[in-house]
Amino acid sequence: MLRNTQDILEKINILKNLLLNNNKNNVLTGAGISTESGIPDYRSKGTGLWEKFDPMKYVSVTALMTDPKKFFDFNIPTWTKYVNAQPNIAHKVIAKLEEMGYIQTVITQNIDGLHIKAGSKRVREVHGHLRTCHCMECNRTYPFEEMANQYFAGKNPPHCSYCNGMLRPDVVLFEDPMGKDYLKALEDMEGCELLVVVGSSLQVYPVADLPSFAKKLAIINKEETPWDRYADLVIHESIGEVFRHLADIMQINVN
């Protein structure tokens, strides 16, 4: 249950009014929105994946090119869990808010695809996604399962069946340039009246700069962020609880 319930409920009411009273509202989401779908956070103190593993050694272009076997050993089992995860109440309420016209664009740092699974239509996956992979030689695109199936059948690293080039996921690895969705996200931030940050610690650049393009800022995150002191509203609380209450007071039905 919520700590300081009265206080939090008042804040959720302010969030509702911010959504209703502004016209161009975007949402920016990070790993924290997906933890309740069973996907581990990267940077939380004590439990974050990158507290135990150096991302440069496991999810960088250098890691892929110098030791592809180790790269796929580390990543394919994790990514397979992401692919099988299901959206939670926060993803679902955000999709409904878009449908109702209160949210224009969802910008996400997550590669789990859960916003699209939840029904969000206008989604910018600035770090890529796990629906597809491609051949590094001939650029052919395959479903993610092609890479995963080869891996689990003992073919590591997985290869293109056409030219035998190595396959790689369509995610933005460390050392990769930002993808085209990031440029679209920048365009979407033009004239943004309200940005609602959900489950991002706003520490990974360039995404951490996006709040500077919004007139108003609301942050829902379990932990403090560097942007908290500039925000119009800050809620440090379970994201699932916040969206459950928001759904209640806005009479949004999710199943």
67 vs 137, beta carbon nearer Zn ion: 137
- Residues paired with residue 216 on neighbouring β-strands, in sequence order: 194
Interaction residues for Zn ion, span 77-116 (CB under 5 A):
none
* Interface mask toward Zn ion for 123-162; x: CB under 5 A: ------------x-xx-x-------------------x-x
226 residue type, one letter: P
Question: Rounded to the nearest whole angstrom, what is the least distance from the CB of residue 202 to Zn ion in the complex?
Answer: 38
Nearer to Zn ion, 163 or 183 (CB): 163
Q: Which stretch binds Zn ion (CB under 5 A): 16-24, 108-116, 163-171, 200-208?
A: 163-171
CB of 145 to Zn ion, least distance (A): 17
Site size for Zn ion, by CB under 5 A?
A: 8
Of 91, 115, 127, 245, catalytic: 127
Evaluate whether 91 touches 120 at the Cβ level (below 8 Å): yes
Q: Does 246 bind Zn ion (CB under 5 A)?
A: no
Q: Binder to Zn ion among 165, 174, 178, 233 (CB under 5 A)?
A: 165
User: Between residues 82 and 142, which has the closer beta carbon with respect to Zn ion?
Assistant: 142
Sign of CA dihedral 11, 14, 19, 24: negative
Q: How far is the CB of 144 from Zn ion (least distance, A)?
A: 16
User: In the range 210-239, which residues lie near Zn ion by CB under 5 A?
Assistant: none
10 Å Cβ neighbour count for 175?
Answer: 13
Q: How far is the CB of 173 from Zn ion (least distance, A)?
A: 19
Q: Is 127 a catalytic residue?
A: yes
The one among 20, 65, 100, 163 contacting Zn ion by CB under 5 A = 163
Q: How far is the CB of 170 from Zn ion (least distance, A)?
A: 14
Cβ–Cβ < 8 Å for 246, 16:
yes
Interface residues with Zn ion (CB under 5 A) are 135, 137-138, 140, 160, 162-163, 165
Annotated catalytic residues are: 127
